[in-house]
Structure 1
Amino acid sequence: MNPPLTRRQLLRALGATAAGLSLAPGFLGRVLASSPRRAARGTLVTVFLRGGADGLSLVPPVEDAAYHRARPSLALKGQGPEAALKLAGPFGLHPGLAALMPLWREGQLAVLHGVGLPEPVRSHFDAQDFVESGTPGRKATPDGWLNRSLDEEEGAALRAVALQPTLPRALFGDAGAVAMGRLEEFRLRGGRRGEGATRGFSALYAGAVDQALRTTGQGAFEAMSLLDEDRLAKLSSRAQVDYPKGQLGPRLRDLARLIHGEVGLEVAATELGGWDTHAAQGAATGAFANRCRELGGALAAFAKDLGPRLEQVTVVVLTEFGRTVRENGSRGTDHGVGSAMFVLGGGVKGGKVYGRFEPLETDRLQDGRDVPAWTDVRAPLAEVLRVRRPGVALDKVFPGFTPPPELGLFG
């Protein structure tokens, strides 16, 4: 006999597509009941660049001589046909991110540099865990910062969604969250497979002993049972927007459909992999540039798709760590510390590079090799939460962390 599931185990299972359970857009049957208070908060979206994205290539300090000395084949130029796009101060934007320049000029895109964990962590697994748990150095944290930002009271069934195959660490926790690879797949199938999914969920639900879990689980099951594929078809983008092919474009398109559908979405997460560039990284062209084009094109299309609704949405683009200042012998970069972060959307005071950044001379680097984490990654996240999750207890979201004075990301 299997032991009964705990409340947390079942809630995690609801978000894990690997468990063989296809959840349903039938959640839409009750999501429209979200309160005006929640609607006023808008939506917080995180895009995690997995693999440790090179902040010095995303936002190169093209006027820093030490940057060019350290990267003879990877440094982006400040002028010429393949130059970085001019931002503020000594900084440029990778030309693969050109689709984001209109947002920068319109003041809807802000950039941060030198962002990372307070202590160097060069393991992908550990660094991602610490960033997403929001508790650097503490591996035993059971939940993630994004889940802890949600109210404990039950909200709309689609209040927290991951547009990716599995639930990310940041959304683990007691507040219900679901994951889906594609919106069209997020439903109970008809016929034998659908019956199996229903029985599987019922058995999972029946194994729970926590009354609060029974309530939450039954509510989710009832919502799934309200599947209406016609409603799913109506969750279309409101503009004729061309999203780029790849991982991120289709996910952000589906996210835009949920936002247009006014389903009570409060927080959402997705990701883009492929940023671990140890060899043949490239400068204005190559593997890194291709990832940049996908990222920039998807974010720009998402903003265009949302139109005026972008004012109620904040998008945060972050990674687990940056890369070494000096390129390696394989014309790539190795695991570093500080990297870049993007914040875009409603209320953002864009057109500016935020955070401390110093010339990349060796004596100013972390361990003589890396961009330091001059800005703790939790600081801008806390600032975003003050806007998108007003009233949230930041000491609960980031226990043991005292946010510094605000960076001023929002007007």
Structure 2
Amino acid sequence: MIMDCCEASRLLVPSRRALLLGGASFAAWAYLPKFARAAEGRDPRLVVIILRGALDGLATVAPVGDPDYAGLHGAIALSTDGPHAATALDGFFALHPAMPEFARMYRDKHAAVIHAVATPYRDRSHFDGQDVLESGFAGPGRVQSGWLNRALEALPRGERVKSALAVGPTTPLVLRGAAPTVGWAPVALPQADDDTAMRLVALYQHRDVALASALSQGLQLEKAALGDDMKPKSGANGAAAMRQVARGAAKLMAADDGPRIGALAFDGWDTHANEGGPVGRLAQLLGGLDGALAEFENGLGERWRDTVVVVATEFGRTARINGTEGTDHGTGTIALLAGGAVQGGRVISDWPSLKPARLYDGRDLAPTTDLRAVLKGVLADHLGLGERVLAERVFPGSATAKPMKALIA
């Protein structure tokens, strides 16, 4: 998704008070307000992970109990038998074998699946689909702000966090807007050594005290996020990169004065060819996502019990395999929830069946759940936003998509 570089990262101080030092991005962490604990003693965290490229929900959480599934998905269909057996979730759905950590969370009732879900978007353009997913509007091209940023604006003053962590080289659209965000991106360029960094701090102490303070705070932020185990490694694959990003974000969000809300995006989910079924390209991607969820769990530590991670994508993929053993752009897909605050151990679905007459446009899993209802349910029960605010400010024009109940424990 194309983003205006001028709006890629909003800080709580003027933009000149942040630098890029040897490729490391940082911000004036000391300026961020602390999160006030809720009256019931909870200190909730929310992480939104966007999968860009359109996830094959039928290959990730397979409806193995649907008699039409195996024939439609052909060589890439999952099965609960054989050497690469999918993990049975209930008597109807099974999870891709590349996601053992999510399977464990599901067994522990800290993960859930919402199936046959979609945004209101019904065409098949990645650009427009991602715009709708992240903006929260019913159609593309409406605004240059995202639903998560507007949710931040709507949080009660003094009761909820008023800033969020945007992970990546640019702020995802979902977090762009008037509410402040702080950006962090794992770096692949060589870092300036400590001596050089301290010389810069000393120089600015005499010329711009505020900038020196911002630089010092930024260096501390970078050190906290990276540590020795986060230094870039040559030859790191996509799965390892997902874990690395999640590990750093979790360290920042676990801090007492760190951000409580974060958003990040993983690219590369456009599996037109060689999707691979239980092994192959999609398996590698899902393994990286699975590892990222485990990194959030490990890195957040005791904070995990008050955490919800939402995983969403712009649309699904075709029910029928194509000629290159992949799937094309579709409609219905899945959303995943993970975290100690999730009321899990469930696949939530009004299943439409995969009979040819029931496929959307004769080719796709028909969506039966509005993704906005899922997101509203999380924002309402996890962060305390009211239904009217959600319908009018966070997801404008969405009054018919009622917040899904009982997603949060």
User: TM-score, normalised on structure 2?
Assistant: 0.81
Moved more, 400-409 or 148-157: 148-157
SS in 2 for 1:46: strand
Whether contact under 8 Å (2:152, 2:162) holds in the other structure is no
Aligned with 2:108 (options 97, 106, 109): 106
Deviations 1:128-186 (A, max 9, x none): 0001000021422221001000136699999211111111110110111233212899x
Moved more, 35-44 or 385-394: 35-44
2:175 is aligned to 171
1:347 is aligned to 341
1:27 is aligned to 28
Distance 1:223 1:159 in 2: 19
SS in 2 for 1:356: coil
Matches for 1:11-410 after TM superposition, within 5 Å: 12-14=8-10, 21-22=19-20, 25=26, 27-31=28-32, 33-37=34-38, 40-151=42-153, 159-182=163-186, 224-227=214-217, 229=219, 233=223, 246-391=240-385, 393-394=389-390, 395-402=392-399, 403-404=401-402, 406-410=404-408
CA RMSD of aligned residues (A): 3.6
Distance 2:365 2:264 in 1: 26
Aligned residues: 376
Distance 2:385 2:313 in 1: 26
SS in 1 for 2:68: helix
Whether contact under 8 Å (1:355, 1:407) holds in the other structure is no
2:233 is aligned to none
What is the Cα deviation at residue 70 of structure 1?
0.8
Distance 1:262 1:160 in 2: 14
Relative to structure 1, the CA distance from residue 257 to residue 191 in structure 2 (aligned partners, 3 Å threshold; closer, same or farther) is: closer
Whether contact under 8 Å (2:311, 2:335) holds in the other structure is yes
Q: Which amino acid aligns with 2:402?
A: P
Question: 5+ residue gaps in structure 2?
Answer: 231-235
Distance 1:389 1:40 in 2: 10
Moved more, 54-63 or 384-393: 384-393
What is the Cα deviation at residue 281 of structure 1?
0.8
Whether contact under 8 Å (2:271, 2:326) holds in the other structure is yes
Moved more, 90-99 or 155-164: 155-164
Distance 2:288 2:35 in 1: 33
Distance 2:408 2:225 in 1: 30
Deviations 1:105-134 (A, max 9, x none): 110001110111224120000000001000
Q: Which amino acid aligns with 1:143?
A: S
SS in 1 for 2:80: coil
Distance 1:155 1:373 in 2: 36
Q: Which amino acid aligns with 2:173?
A: R
Whether contact under 8 Å (1:33, 1:156) holds in the other structure is no
Q: Which amino acid aligns with 1:31?
A: L
Distance 2:296 2:277 in 1: 26
Whether contact under 8 Å (1:31, 1:156) holds in the other structure is no
User: TM-score, normalised on structure 1?
Assistant: 0.81
What is the Cα deviation at residue 11 of structure 1?
5.6
Distance 1:410 1:222 in 2: 43
Whether contact under 8 Å (2:50, 2:313) holds in the other structure is yes
Distance 1:286 1:311 in 2: 33
Moved more, 58-67 or 244-253: 244-253
SS in 1 for 2:76: coil
Question: 5+ residue gaps in structure 1?
Answer: 1-7, 203-217
Percentage identity across paired residues of the two chains: 34
What is the Cα deviation at residue 226 of structure 1?
4.4
Deviations 1:335-393 (A, max 9, x none): 00011111111321111001211220011111111012211110100011013321352
What is the Cα deviation at residue 269 of structure 1?
0.7
Relative to structure 1, the CA distance from residue 274 to residue 33 in structure 2 (aligned partners, 3 Å threshold; closer, same or farther) is: closer
